A = this chain, B = another copy of it.
Amino acid sequence: MKEYRLAVLPGDGVGPEVMMEGLRVLHAVEELHGGLRFRRQAFDWNCDHYRKHGRMMPEDGLSVLRDFDAIQLGAIGAPDVPDPVSIWELILPIRRGFDQYINYRPIKLLRGIESPLRDRGPEELDFVVIRENTEGEYSDSGGRLHRGTSHELAVQNSVFTRHGTERVIRYAFEWARTTGKTHVTAATKSNGINHTMPFWDEIFREVAQEHPGIETWKVHMDALAACFVTRPQVFEVVVASNLFGDILTDLGAAIVGGLGLAPSGNLNPDGRYPSMFEPIHGSAPDIAGKGIANPIAQIWSVSLMLEHLGHREEAGLILEAVEEVLVEGTVRTPDLGGSASTREMGEAIRRQILKRG
């Protein structure tokens, strides 16, 4: 019997709605495999918590979460709470505090889903983006001068350390090697951004030399974004800085059918801290409470968690069930052109898992 402690942060907006389906799917997996148990504990750390207590999470939030084996996050954010609060006091502190330096994001067209790109099928849209998740362009270093005058200016410092850059690039190559991939693409912009990006390129070259069996391609971020549209089939593993990875993965989600389908894992690969799994989509206040959000990104995030914890078979089972339901095609949430509710979509997947198990 393998027992894990799972921290559940449903968050705001559609977060709790999709989280519910993720957890029901997890429960189905537990039912099938007597040897696997997740002891869940839910935390109401969200914008409501902020409204009540003036903070997104308690002061000792991180040390509470630290004892868990994994974290499932729904979505965070509300129209009346400024981003600097909701994001900078919850998501980013967890990513950084738990040294979740890998943001792992599959870009994979599921069977049954039509890409908005003409004539692109599942064989041509299947790669991963490995995003740096703790430093780079997202640093709180910077500030303002001459506030309120016509000479006002703001500065933001991107900080790339050798430590931070090497480990994410190395992870990308290792991931390629262990999954049998032969091609790693790096997002750069060293033709325009002349300090940090040449440094990134240098380290990419060094790490590439340690992996002679793997072909590499270094592409400027502007051209790379274009390639996601014009020839996505060339990618196997894309490694990118925090900001570039952020942009590429939303774009990646778009070409494989939308944000409702896009999961992510914030990984602490050395296992010293819990990793966190979350949909790429936000809290979608416009549809919150209607029960029509697509739960697949959250359900897939549960699959990523199982994979990360070493339960590859169960992870695969979930994703196959999702694809089977999509191929069957009658149960679809509105974002996929159907009229199913969040619950109906989740339930169809849960049933499919139990049927296959």
Interface residues in chain A, defined as those with a beta carbon under 8 Å from any beta carbon in chain B: 77, 83-84, 87-88, 92, 114-118, 137-138, 140, 142-144, 149-163, 189-200, 221-223, 225-230, 242-243, 246-247, 249-251, 253-255, 258-259
Contacts and interface: CB of A to CB of B under 8 A. Distances in A.
A92 B84 CA distance: 33
Contact of A140 (B194, B226, B229, B246): B194
A103 B193 CA distance: 17
Given A243-B192, A246-B222, A152 B162 contact: yes
A266 to B, nearest CB: 14
A124 to B, nearest CB: 12
Contacts of A199: 144, 152, 154
A198 B144 CA distance: 11
3 tightest Cβ-Cβ pairs between the two chains A and B: A142-B195, A222-B250, A154-B199
Give the residue among A153, A156, A192 with the most B Cβ atoms within 10 A.
A156
Contacts of A225: 225, 247, 250-251, 254
Contacts of A115: 118
A150 B162 contact: yes
B150 A160 contact: no
Given A154-B160, A221-B246, 16 more contacts: A84-B191, A87-B191, A114-B118, A116-B118, A116-B229, A142-B158, A150-B162, A152-B162, A153-B161, A193-B243, A221-B247, A222-B250, A226-B253, A226-B259, A227-B254, A228-B251
22 contacts: A83-B191, A84-B190, A116-B118, A117-B229, A137-B192, A143-B195, A144-B199, A153-B159, A153-B161, A154-B160, A154-B195, A154-B199, A154-B200, A155-B160, A156-B195, A222-B247, A222-B249, A222-B251, A223-B250, A227-B254, A229-B229, A230-B254
A194 B144 contact: no
Contacts of A192: 87, 92, 137-138, 242-243, 246
A22 to B, nearest CB: 22
Nearest to A255: B229
A252 to B, nearest CB: 9
Contacts of A253: 226
B193 A144 contact: no
B196 A243 contact: no
A143 B196 CA distance: 8
Given A253-B226, A254-B229, A156 B196 contact: yes
